[in-house]
Amino acid sequence: MFINLSNDQKNQIERVKEIAKKIALRNREVDEASEFPWDIFNTFKENHILDLPVPKNFGGGGAQSLTCCLVLEEIARFSPSSAHMLAGHWLGFTPLELFCNPFQKEKYFPRLRSELAAFSLTEPAAGSDAGGIITEAKREGENYTLNGTKIYCTQGHVANVITIFAKTSPDIGVKGLSAFIVEKEFPGFSVGKIEDQMGMRGTPAAELVLQDCLVPKQNLLGKEGDGFNIAMQTLDRTRPKDAAIAVGIAQGALDYTLNYAPKGFLMKEPLLKSQGVQFLIADIAISIEAARLLVYEAASLIDEGEVSTKHSAMAKCFATDVAMRVTEQAIDILGGEGVSVEHPVEMFMRDAKLLQILEGTNQIQRLIIFRSLLN
């Protein structure tokens, strides 16, 4: 497969680069305070980045997967946590994009051009194993009543519209899962603990508490029992986006290293004169390029209507592992400066670590990849 970026895609990259550079000036403040940066959210909204994947007939950008990945990569190069905010929103939008009926589309698509979305699958007993979900949804007249606790929902504390997965039929594992569009104003919905996490601190994960939460029956996504399929189809389409952020992080770490390295020394010699460093940098560049191509391939397959669970999982697993290793190696090159908070690389490393775990740990990705090889 050969990937040729369109002029529109190239323009998008150039456009968001300028925005990302400005946003990045806030990186440290956001990281230290671990607060959702509404100013950055507003920047995304005003510049029509937030609504990129929303279809054009609803006023959005109508962007395909590859374009979204390119945008995330470019933003993550400068500000990983801000890219994570966008990806979190798009993750929240994806199940709606795929499964909304016309009524739901009319109601939510316009809103998600300017309001934040989120996606909530995980529970204390259900991390990798979605079958372990115990949050229940009981149909009572015109409403479903949801009871349970969800955890690790990226920016769940600030999102207005959240796709929440709950069991409409207990005891039959993932087949009993259903997906609901939940608004934060719904009675019985509240935000619990907000996590103090090592990286991506501008977009912390939140606990969502559902206590007799009333959800109108019109807010069921698809049919009862469709939940697991909705979640998996969503993740097939969003994993390349996490992978794109990982590529951006790795590229950002390399950029910074190359920029800083001329000032550095190793054993009283200029750092870049060291062949050990030269080879290390070459290896970093190789792994980033390989990850990038895998991400573009997975995204292009989605855009061509040939969504590949395998490719999405491979892109996510490989690119996030690359991001972790590359950020770590970038610190090694920068030495004492690399671990100082005066430089962004240590933050990039902390951000990268989250990507190896969220939206399916890389162990789960390997499981998915192996199974898909047998089919």
Partner 1 sequence: MYELTDTQRDIQKAAREFAEKEFDLDLALELEKEGRFLKSIFEKACQLGFIGIDYPEQYCGQSFGLFENVLVIEEFTRKDSGIGISLSLADIASSIILKHGDESQKKNFLIPVTQGRAISTVALIDSFHEKNQGPIITKAEGYPDGYVINRGKAWVIHGSLASIIILLCETLNPTKPIALIVESKWEGVNILGLKKMMGMRISSIHEIAFDKVKVPKDHVIQWGNAGTDPLTTYRHVHRIKTSAQALGIAQGAFDHAVKHAKEREQFGRKICQFQGIQFMLADLYTQIEAARSLVYRAAHQYDTNDPDIEKISSIAKLFATDVAIKATIDSIQIHGGVGLMREYPIERMLRDVKTIQNLEETNLVQKALIAKKIIS
Binding site for partner 1 (CB under 8 A): 122, 125, 127-129, 131-132, 151-152, 195-199, 205, 265-268, 274, 276-277, 280, 324, 328, 331-336, 338-342, 346-347, 349-350, 353-354, 356-358, 361-363, 366-367
Q: What would the DSSP string read from start to end of 78-119?
A: H-HHHHHHHHHHHHHHHHHHHH--HHHHHHHTTGGGTS-EEE
Shortest Å, Cβ 67 to partner 1: 30
Shortest Å, Cβ 178 to partner 1: 21
Token digits of residue 170: 């207990």
Catalytic-labelled residue, pool 73, 74, 97, 359: 359
Torsions phi, psi of 192, nearest 5? -95, -130
Q: Which long-range contacts (CB under 8 A, 24 or more apart) does 308-312 make?
A: 308/236, 309/232, 309/236, 309/368, 309/372, 310/368, 310/369, 310/372, 310/373, 311/240, 312/235, 312/236, 312/237, 312/239, 312/240
Can you tell me whether residue 212 is helix, strand or coil? strand
How many C-beta atoms surround the C-beta of residue 349 within 10 A? 24
Shortest Å, Cβ 256 to partner 1: 15
Nearest to partner 1 of 18, 32 (CB atom): 32
Run of H or E including 69: helix 65-78
Shortest Å, Cβ 107 to partner 1: 32
How many C-beta atoms surround the C-beta of residue 133 within 10 A? 25
Nearest to partner 1 of 52, 200 (CB atom): 200
Nearest to partner 1 of 266, 293 (CB atom): 266
Give CA–CA dist 200/192, Å, rounded. Answer: 19
Nearest to partner 1 of 310, 350 (CB atom): 350
Shortest Å, Cβ 342 to partner 1: 8
Q: How many CA atoms lie within 13 A of 242 on its CB side?
A: 33
Token digits of residue 230: 């909705």
- Residue 18 falls in the annotated catalytic set: no
Can you tell me whether residue 167 is helix, strand or coil? strand
Nearest to partner 1 of 22, 28 (CB atom): 28
Active site residues: 359
